[in-house]
Amino acid sequence: MKKLSKLLAILVACSSATLAHAQGAANYPSKPITVISPFAPGGTSDFVGRLVAMKLGETAGWRVVLEAKPGANGQIGTDQVAKSAPDGYTLVLGPSSTHAINPSVFKTLPYDVLRDFIGIAMLGSTANIIAVNPKVPATNVKELIAYAKANPGKLAFSSPGAGTSVHIAGEMFKDAAGGIDLLHVPFKGSGPSMAAVLGGDVQVLVENISAAVPNIKAGRLRAIAVTSIIREPSLPDVPTLNEAGLTGFEVLAWFSLFAPSATPRDIVNKLNAEVVKVLNMPDVRDQMLARGLIPRPMTVDAFNALWRKDIEKYAAIVKKAKISID
């Protein structure tokens, strides 16, 4: 009798959970959605996150709050979402660094990206750029490499964090340039990284194009080259590293939304549909392109397939570059 009562209790609990999921999906969202950004404000994640959050408020009437939780190369904010309730109300703005690169760079992580997350939507992608403080006597790739070789130990490059796509791009540039002496200085986000180069504390900036464009156009930074195979529309006069003689050099970064893996699929699909609507809006596309970001609307399945391929791709790059962080 006790066993039967226990079995009935389990069945009732399971039925209640299923009903709650169904009702939640039908009425979602019934309260504000929090999107955790795992890096400091002022960078590309912050820009695209706030833009999409604002537009979701306009188009769907949703209240979406972007909350910065920087630290540990994106692990603090990412881990918070991995362990949050899978109800669609706590999401993470995951760049390729946290969700495609970190699994290969870090020996241990407090979460497993493939086990603990499901991709909701790709927001946009961007190439990285190599730029310098105007006081650095280099106007192109050849001059920068020559200066670094003639002045070992005098140049450093900043990044928004160790293991980010920006860090990977910087290390690949060092290797492709013949192993030049260029110290990596990681920060807790694009804002602090940018400030360090603008202030002259660090000489070289390796950063997402979208974060660097305003300062380049204002003359506060001197663009050297971009890491895409073809030139970027927002900076058409800046050559690619491929054009500068580093044949085949390409590193791109993307920014996406993720939810805890157990989030009901109908909620994930609903989120994806609304985000895709936003990304297809002409004014959103124009704002993103002006910052060097290419909108990337796609289905849930298409994004998750791309994400898994990128994990494998970056694992090969990290292994070749011998990048490892304890």
Residues 294-307: pLDDT tens digits?
Answer: 899 999 999 999 99
Is residue 243's pLDDT more than 60?
Answer: yes
Which domains are present in the chain? 2-125+253-321 (3.40.190.150), 127-226 (3.40.190.10)
Q: Identify the residue with better confidence: 268 or 210.
A: 268
Residues in contact with 147: Cβ distance below 8 Å, sequence separation at least 6, in sequence order: 136, 137, 138, 155
Residues 215-224: pLDDT tens digits?
Answer: 999 999 999 9
pLDDT at position 92 is 98
Three-state secondary-structure class, residue 294: strand
Confidence of residue 16 (pLDDT cuts 50, 70, 90): very low
Q: What's the distance, CA 103 to chain centroid? A: 14
Pairwise CA distance, residues 30 & 15, whole Å: 22
pLDDT at position 84 is 97
pLDDT at position 177 is 92
3-state secondary structure labels for all residues of 80-105: HHHCCCCCCCEEEEEEHHHHHHHHHH
pLDDT at position 326 is 66
C-alpha closest to that of 206 among 239, 240, 176, 171: 171
CB contact at 8 A, 110 and 79 = yes
Pairwise CA distance, residues 160 & 73, whole Å: 8
Is residue 318's pLDDT more than 80?
Answer: yes
C-alpha closest to that of 176 among 209, 205, 141: 141
Instruction: Name the average pLDDT for the chain.
Output: 89
Helical packing angle, 190-198 and 209-217, nearest 10°: 30
Burial code (b: 16+ CB inside 10 Å, e: under 16) for 185-218 equals bbbbbbbbbbebbeeeebbbbbbbbbbbbebbee
Q: What single letter denotes the amino acid at residue 100?
A: A
Of 20-24, 167-171, 227-231, where does mean pLDDT reach its minimum?
20-24
Pairwise CA distance, residues 239 & 227, whole Å: 9
Report the C-alpha dihedral over residues 130, 134, 138, 139, rounded to 10 degrees: 70
C-alpha closest to that of 187 among 207, 217, 172: 207
Percent with pLDDT over 90 in the chain: 67
Strand partners, 253: 126
